[in-house]
């Protein structure tokens, strides 16, 4: 008799419970940004000073410096943007 009464109570208790409500909380956590800054490359035109090169050599150095500067600036932007997100 006691077993029947306990089993009825257990079954009645299982039928009336509602599933738990799940609540997500999004919490922003600040973390320190540790970025290794890229090393500045040697610029062929400005770092070596103006030497007595002809116009063709100076223009080649200027074009090479433009490409180096684009790459260096891209690395700096990537490093700066990695901390902002």
Q: Bigger pLDDT: 66 or 44?
A: 66
Q: What is the pTM of this model?
A: 0.56
The tens digit of pLDDT for each residue in 2-56 reads 777 667 666 665 555 677 788 888 888 887 888 888 999 998 888 776 677 888 9
pLDDT at 67 over 90: yes
- How many other C-beta atoms can be found within 10 angstroms of the C-beta atom of residue 46? 12
The CA distance from 82 to 29, in Å, is: 16
pLDDT of residue 3: 76
pLDDT for position 81: 86
Confidence of residue 64 (pLDDT cuts 50, 70, 90): very high
pLDDT of 74: 95
pLDDT at residue 36, rounded to an integer: 87
CA-based nearest residue to 46, from 73, 64, 24: 64
């Amino acid at each position: 008799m006691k077993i029947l009464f306990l089993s009825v109570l257990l079954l009645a208790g299982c039928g009336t419970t509602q599933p738990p409500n799940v609540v997500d909380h999004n919490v922003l956590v600040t973390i320190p940004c540790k970025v290794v800054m890229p090393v500045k490359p040697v610029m062929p035109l400005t770092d070596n000073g103006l030497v007595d090169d002809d116009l063709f050599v100076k223009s080649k150095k200027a074009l090479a410096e433009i490409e180096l500067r684009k790459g260096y600036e891209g690395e700096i932007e990537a490093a700066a943007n990695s901390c902002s997100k």
